[in-house]
Amino acid sequence: MCGIVGVVGNINATDILLQGLQKLEYRGYDSAGIFVAGQRGDHFLLKSVGRISSLQEKIDGQVSGFSGIGHTRWATHGKPGENNAHPHVSKNSRLVLVHNGVIENFKQLREEYLVEEEFIGDTDTEIVAHLIGKFVEDGNFSVEEAMRKVLLLIEGSFAFALMDTLDSETIFVAKRKSPLLIGLGDGCNMVCSDAMAMIRETQTFMEINDDEMVIVRKDDVQILNSEGKKIEREPYIAKLDLSDIGKGTYPYYMLKEIEEQPAVIRRIVQEYVSEQNNHQLNVDSDILQAVHQADQVYIVAAGTSFHAGFASKSFFEKLTGKPVELCLASEFGYNTPILSKNPLFIYISQSGETADSRQVLVKMKELGYKALTITNVPGSTLSREADYTLLLHAGPEIAVASTKAYTAQIAVMAVLAKAVGDAQNNPVAKQFDLAKELSLVAMAMVSILEAKETISQKTGELLKTTRNAFYIGRAADYYVAMEAALKLKEISYIQCEGFAAGELKHGTIALIEEKTPVLVLMSDKGIASLTRGNMMEVMSRGAQVLTIVTQECAEKGDDIVIPNVHPYLTCLSMVLPTQLIAYYATLQRGLDVDKPRNLAKSVTVE
């Protein structure tokens, strides 16, 4: 969601802030702003609604300085507008603040401390800026002391970067729940929500833990705990490459990431399958033991990651012998069901920063339950706070609509399930040659990508002007249908739903009208005839149908026929045409594929 950048001690501060904000565009935003401190004591505060390019036009090369902070805002309190855009200032404009998160008690703080003050906008952040300023001006506190006092009063989540116009060589930083990093440079230091924002400037970063405060200067970084005591922490090297972050020759990140999926599957095989040890899987024995000891596995996730959990449930149970329950993160933490005696929680998250999943992790850890995080980002919050981590090795995913992370999540879940089954001498797992089958999946993906022009044409014929659409399928195809519908709706704005094909007669078929698009998924020969029966039911009511089928299920007249893969892994291949359909439907409507309205890549607030 919101993105924060900051730099102190570099004469190119404006450029560093802007390029950092551009690198954070993938997180989703509706407005942006920067504060820059000049070398002659002058200060610049600029904001704009819309894309960062609008902010750049305002700057127009006239803003320069050696330190500053910047922000991209995804609206939570107050509509998108310059009055609500960050940075925000204190009452006398001395202090400048950017914030990611949600202050849950901002109304109480305003009523208790700031009832007579006037505010420009409607945000919770402006309340915090005024409150810190009030303690500095009225209470004779230093900025550090005032900020620490306010941190103790705040309820909710936050990542703060604060500057004092009377001391422009310092950035005061603090976090709780929301992600924030310190970048260590040569003669300068930085602040960022994601290492990607500052990877051009440095590869050396330092983590910040919850309720810590950090004082950042050009040649010094002090980490303080909640009691003000200094903490020593070793930095780490971010394994990112600028070439991975760029689009290359692709018009959109989403298409690039769709086409990277065969390589991602091969990379997962390379990372987890040992060539020297008879194809044994490289999964930590502690993880295998944790799954073995569990009497039930709970997969906690949201959005696309939740769908990846569904796609993994069946083969995970067959290969491990462990029952699996899927849990929506946003619901589970506040409506927890009766748990088994010895559960294991698996948290699936592309970013590793999903706030809904983190609140579940924290609560379950307090109860003493083990946690495994499956994520694309080493060192992310969910990775650091879990007992164990398995990485996706998918490379940076920039487009808001997740594609390669989804398939990587399923593939890594298959790696885990196979490794556990092998360790338990499960005969089903022993007979499943995962390395071979994933290699065949990668080959199938290449074949599907070669047919993308045909998919584009069929997408235009079916979806170019429609308002509504449906995906239907049974078993694993139903799980793909849910993800396919999400992809289509989130970037093309077509109101699309994914349904179990057998459930149509229980209500949904009432929505079928003349020329209603219905996309039918069939990958299981044993139940394909049932799905075709459901397809005939919607066709007889006027639906316009497009079929996506595997070769073993294909009949004359099917639209998109893809190679067969192992039944455990059909979701990996079946989802690829639906990703391309979402991409082309969006493109054909003239919409921004990578940056859909109202959405954010990394959901860092509950």
Q: Say if residue 230 is exposed, middle or buried (CB neighbours under 10 Å; 0-12, 13-18, 19+).
A: exposed
Q: Which of 2, 188, 327, 553 is catalytic?
A: 2
Q: How far apart are the first and last CA of the chain?
A: 11
The DSSP secondary structure of 144-176, one letter per residue, reads: HHHHHHHHHH--B-EEEEEEETTEEEEEEEEEE
Residues contacting 499, CB < 8 A, separation 6+:
470, 471, 472, 478, 481, 508
Alpha carbon 93 to its chain centroid, in Å, reads 34
Tell me which of 47, 487, 489, 601 is the catalytic residue. Answer: 601
Q: What span, in angstroms and rounded, lies between the C-alpha atoms of 441 and 428? A: 20
Within 10 angstroms of residue 427's Cβ, the number of other Cβ atoms is: 9
Radius of gyration of the chain (CA): 25
Give the pairing type, strands 88-89 and 95-100: antiparallel
Place of tokens 């409607």: 122
Strands (E), 12-148: 31-37, 43-49, 67-73, 88-89, 95-100
Handedness of CA 538, 544, 550, 553 (dihedral sign): positive
Could you tell me the two tokens for 424?
């338990």
Q: How far apart are CA 585 and CA 569, in angstroms?
A: 26
- Annotated catalytic, 23? no
Which amino acid would we find at residue 354?
A: T
- In the chain, what's the furthest Cα-to-Cα distance? 81
The number of CA neighbours under 13 Å toward the Cβ of 534 is 25
What sections of 540-569 are H helices per DSSP? none
CA 466 to each of CA 195, 462, 481: distance values in angstroms, whole numbers, following the listed order: 40, 8, 18
Q: Residue 118 carries which DSSP code?
A: -
Which two tokens mark 241?
A: 């490459």
Which residue intervals of 298-343 are DSSP H helices?
Answer: 303-320, 329-332
Is 2 annotated as catalytic? yes
A 10 A CB-CB count for 308 gives 29
Is the Cβ–Cβ distance between 137 and 113 less than 8 Å? no
**SS3 of residue 273 by DSSP:** strand
Q: Are 179 and 214 in contact (CB under 8 A)?
A: no
Residues marked as catalytic: 2, 601
